[in-house]
Structure 1
Amino acid sequence: MSTVVGKRTVGEVMTSEVVQARPDTSFEELARVFTAHRISGLPVVDDDDKVMGVVSRTDLTRHRAGRGQDGPGRRRMAWTLRRPADTHPVGGPALAAGELMTSPAVTVHPEQRVVDAARIMERRHIDRLPVVDEEDRLVGITTRRDLLRVFLRTDEEILADVAGAVSGRAPAAHRIDGLRIDVRDGMVTMVGAPEPALDTTALIRAAWRVDGVVGVVNRLTADRESDHGQ
């Protein structure tokens, strides 16, 4: 009987170590962080790690150009910020993250499906989504690139990685010669009768963790032929 194991979740593809800012993070510090980490945006969190908004390189560029601080679809946050006197660029005082950010942030939860996160990004025209827990505390971030790694892989690439992952789950004393793996449009089908000592559940889980896998069909059966001397 075929069993399809669920869909990939955001929690499986997100980055847990997130570069983040506070509301009073200065313009210059934001610019430095973007350059140092080679990123184009980051979440802004409060003292309780709750996500307040997202600030991007574009936000900094707009401010430098003297426009976009109160553009359409944006909300200015009223913060009393303490900034060093030397953080004012030519043309006016520099704003901090709390004033530059887009708020409220569009967020997702770890248990949401990757396909749903991709749809949100497409609909909202954004490239990153902070991942939050049930109390809106930051637990990770997922980007368009993370999601593309899942979707934009050939079946051949997925098959090679699944084969490697499954082989790695087999103890050295056992073989998985009785296993056949097929991949079509990201759906993995595992057929055969591997040795009884092998943990088939672990094999399925190993396949499921491979980037690009959207589901796993389990058609594995117990290898009983060896019991009859065949």
Structure 2
Amino acid sequence: MPQTTHPAGRGRDLSVMTLEIAGAASTRTLSAVLCPREQRAKPLDDCLPCVDSQGEARDPGARPGFVECLGEGPARAAPAREPGDPEASLADRTPVQAVMTRVVIAVQADLPLERARALFLERGIGGAPVVDDAGKPLGILSKTDLLRAGAGRPGGTVADEMSRNVLTLPEQAPISEAAALLAAEGVHRAPVVGREGRVVGIVTVLDLLRWLAQQDGQLMPSGHSLQAR
């Protein structure tokens, strides 16, 4: 790792985002962090050699861990407003990456349905994006899809039951846009994608409700089930 020229001192802890991809042959994990300088999700392998990186600061009890970073994000200019335009709400100013679930369980199209059912039960999830080898979305699989397939149906893969009309959100999309998309389409979750098109998170209706309650001063638990039902 290159030597840093920053003064000694602890930087910020960047939460490592993980995309766990279950396929028929194997399960693999892709890791990324939200880079403060570039304001985007960046693969962990590209982050660690950065001059601002102080390396992984893993707490043995934490999952998936953190990267200590001395980098600073660019100053954000207030959006231009025409005279008489209302001020943007907090939901318009807050990106969806601030509330999304950062540990995502995904499946591949060739995963047998029986293994998908077992994965949903084991991990307590209500849906999962279907992705290719690079982590780019191809569709989405929900509990409803699995129930429709029938618990006793032999054979079949995720490709047979997944919805191919997958709705995604860019990582910088405002919370207001996420809420409008989920409400308009009548869905419970949407994958969040980075600039390269890879899934970097997932936002659910519960994530948005939790954020709304926190803005109203409600004390909410710090953790919640991944990809909540």
If the length of structure 2 is used for normalisation, what is the TM-score? 0.53
Distance change in 2, residues 1:147/1:155 (3 Å): closer
- Which residue of 101, 115, 118 maps to 2:176? 115
Distance change in 2, residues 1:56/1:155 (3 Å): closer
Q: Which runs of 5+ in 2 are unaligned?
A: 1-77, 79-86, 220-229
What is the distance in 1 between the residues matched to 2:150 and 2:123? 21
- Which residue of 113, 129, 132 maps to 2:193? 132
The answer for the alignment partner of 1:17 in structure 2 is 103
The answer for the alignment partner of 2:138 in structure 1 is 52
Q: CA RMSD in A?
A: 2.3
Distance change in 2, residues 1:10/1:93 (3 Å): same
What is the distance in 2 between the residues matched to 1:154 and 1:33? 34
Q: Cα offset for 1:134? A: 2.6
- 2:129 maps to 1:43: yes
What is the distance in 2 between the residues matched to 1:14 and 1:155? 19
Q: Percent identity?
A: 33
Kindly provide the amino acid, as one letter, of the partner of residue 23 in structure 1: A
Kindly provide the amino acid, as one letter, of the partner of residue 109 in structure 1: P
What is the distance in 2 between the residues matched to 1:106 and 1:144? 14
- 2:212 maps to 1:151: yes
What is the distance in 2 between the residues matched to 1:109 and 1:154? 23
What is the distance in 2 between the residues matched to 1:156 and 1:45? 37
What is the distance in 2 between the residues matched to 1:155 and 1:141? 23
Q: Higher helix fraction: Structure 1 or Structure 2?
A: 1
Larger Rg: 1
What is the distance in 1 between the residues matched to 2:169 and 2:99? 12
Q: Cα offset for 1:153? A: 4.0
- Which residue of 159, 163, 174 maps to 1:98? 159
- 2:202 maps to 1:141: yes
Distance change in 2, residues 1:60/1:154 (3 Å): same
If the length of structure 1 is used for normalisation, what is the TM-score? 0.53
Q: Structure 1 runs of 4+ off > 4 angstroms?
A: 3-6
